[in-house]
Amino acid sequence: MSDSPRAELIKLETDRRLGHEWDEWDGTPLPRNGDFDSPPKLFFVWSAAATAVAMGLAFGVLWLLRPHLASISPRLVTVATWSVAILAALSWTWWALIAASYLLKRPLLPERLAERGLYLRLMSWTSRVASRFGRRDWVENASVKVYNALALIRQRKVKTGELLLLVPRCLSRETLEGVLEVAKRYAVPVFVATRGQLARRVIKERRPRAVVAVACERDMVSGLHDVAGKIPVLGLVLKLPSGPCKDTVLDLVQLENWVKAYVA
Ligand code: SF4
């Protein structure tokens, strides 16, 4: 019997509708053939704007509540104003530390205050702001790059059996074959997720110690938001040359690099 490592393909059945992130797609070709590759600095620009929007909303609510608070007690206005000002100062300090961690390639914040906690919230909020301006996919692409860079700084290692490779059902046949080759080479189990909920289920059942996840930007950001706080994840985004949810492709070299980043 051969001792060579074998890829393990796990499948779960589902009758749920697929690709809800793309419900509003009108069938027209995606910009740049579904390649939303963007520089990481795009995320910093948009996340700064999104933070400014959040702070503006906080000060706006404070301004609206001022008369009501003053009628109760003038001290309340002072306390509320200082609270919002301190929150704003902390938010910008934290944002600067995330940017410095990325630029210096050093973990200046604990995971819970960075890629496995607060950063995931910033990523989702920035995505919501960017979607208002039709820039969602580009900004999400950049945000996943920054997320991966922050995760890689930790230099976490696991055994091959402790890593799980999560891929979507929309991969083209050739791409899936390439993914299985990589998985076989490193003896990493592969799970083909037809829905994000099933991906979460298999993580719960298999209890991997780390995950390499593949998805389009939209699915990636929502998936990271739900999962990355519980388990270390590296994310690889797809290209969508045939539109969303069909015959998608990915960078197999990058996939192998992500697997190697975890597997010692
Ligand atoms: S990962 Fe694939 S199937 Fe899932 S929403 Fe994105 S394009 Fe559609």
Instruction: Note the pLDDT tens digit of each residue in 121-140.
Output: 999 999 999 999 999 999 99
Pocket test residue of 166, 248, 250 for ligand 1, highest count of atoms within 8 A of CB: 248
Q: Determine which residue's CA is closest to atom 5 belonging to ligand 1.
A: 19
Q: Residue 20 has what pLDDT?
A: 82
The answer to whether the pTM exceeds 0.85 is yes
Q: How far is the CA of 50 from the centre of ligand 1 (A)?
A: 26
Q: Are 88 and 81 in contact (CB under 8 A)?
A: no
For the chain, the residue count is: 264
Expressed in angstroms and rounded, the spacing between residue 194 Cα and the centre of ligand 1 is: 9
Radius of gyration of the chain (CA): 21
Q: Is 172 helix (H, G, I), strand (E, B) or coil?
A: coil
Q: Please work out whether the CB of residue 137 comes within 6 Å of at least one atom of ligand 1.
A: no
Phi/psi zone of residue 144: left (φ > 0), alpha (ψ -120 to 50 degrees), beta? Answer: alpha
Q: pLDDT by residue (tens digit) across 187-206?
A: 999 999 877 677 888 888 88
Nearest atom within ligand 1 for CA of residue 22: 5
Instruction: Report how far residue 46's alpha carbon sits from residue 26's, in angstroms, rounded to the nearest whole number.
Output: 26
pLDDT digits 0-9 by tens, 138-186: 999 999 999 999 999 999 999 988 999 999 999 999 999 999 999 999 9
Q: Nearest Cα to 42, choosing from 150, 126, 113? A: 126
Question: Which is the closest atom of ligand 1 to the Cα of 218?
Answer: 6
Q: Quick one: angle between helices 196-206 and 217-227, nearest 10?
A: 40
The candidate with the shortest Cα–Cα distance to 244, out of 37, 25, 17, 32, is 25
Q: In the structure, what pLDDT confidence band is assigned to residue 38 with cuts at 50, 70 and 90?
A: very high
Per-residue pLDDT of 233-261, as tens digits, reads: 999 999 999 999 999 999 999 999 999 99
